[in-house]
Amino acid sequence: LDPATLQRRLLLCLYGLGTNAGLKRVSAGVEDVSYKELLHVHRRFIHVEALRDAARRVANATLAIRNPMIWGEVGTACASDSKKFGAWDRNLMTEWHIRYGGRGVMIYWHVEKRSTCIYSQLKRCSSSEVAAMIEGVLRHCTDLEIHRQYVDSHGQSEVAFAFCKLLGFELAPRLKAIARQKLCLPRPGMKGELPNLMP
C-alpha cells in the first residue's frame, strides 16, 4: 500500500471505531474501499496500546492549552460512570443486564471536571464498578493528578472508601435519595454543632 492510501484507510478505520459506526457501515459509505480492506488495516495497524497512547496525548494536549479565563483552572477532580451498549450473544463479555434489561457490555468512562475523557474501559454488566473506578484512577496515564473521584451510588462501598483512602484520593459518591436519608450522629449533643444539616 502506498502511504496516502494507508493513511486514508487508517482514518476511515479510526472514524468507524471512534464514532461506533463500525467498519462495515463506513465501508458501505465509501465507494473505493471494501470492508475486508478496512479490516486488514485495522488488524495490522491499530492496537489497544496505541489507541490508549493517542487518547492520553489528546487529553494532555487539551488540558495544556485550555484558557483558564474561559475554562477555569485544571482541577484535581474526576467523575466516572458506565453506560450499557447492546452486544451479540456470542461475545465473551456479553451478559444480561438486570437493571437495564437486554444483553450487552458496559463502557466505564472517567471524565475530568471540564468534560475531557481521561480513561475508558470495557467491563461486564455484572462486574464491580468499584474495581473499574479504581483501575481508571490508577491507569489513566494523563498529567492530571486526581485527588477526588466522583461516582454514583454503584461506585461506592465500604471497600471502595478503604482502598481510596489507602491510595491517596478521596471518594465522593452521589448518595441516592439523600433527602430521605437519616443521619446518625456520633454523639447525642452534636446536632447543635452542625447547623447546615438542619432542615
Residues 154-163 have pLDDT tens digits of 888 889 999 9
Pick the CATH number of 72-180 from 3.30.70.20, 3.30.420.10, 3.40.30.10, 3.50.50.60: 3.30.420.10
Query: What Å distances lie between residue 127 and 131, 155, 165, CA to CA?
Result: 8, 11, 22
Residues 110-144 have pLDDT tens digits of 998 878 899 999 999 999 899 999 999 999 989 98
User: What number of residues does the chain have?
Assistant: 199
Which pTM does this prediction carry?
0.75
Distance CA 152, CA 108 (A): 12
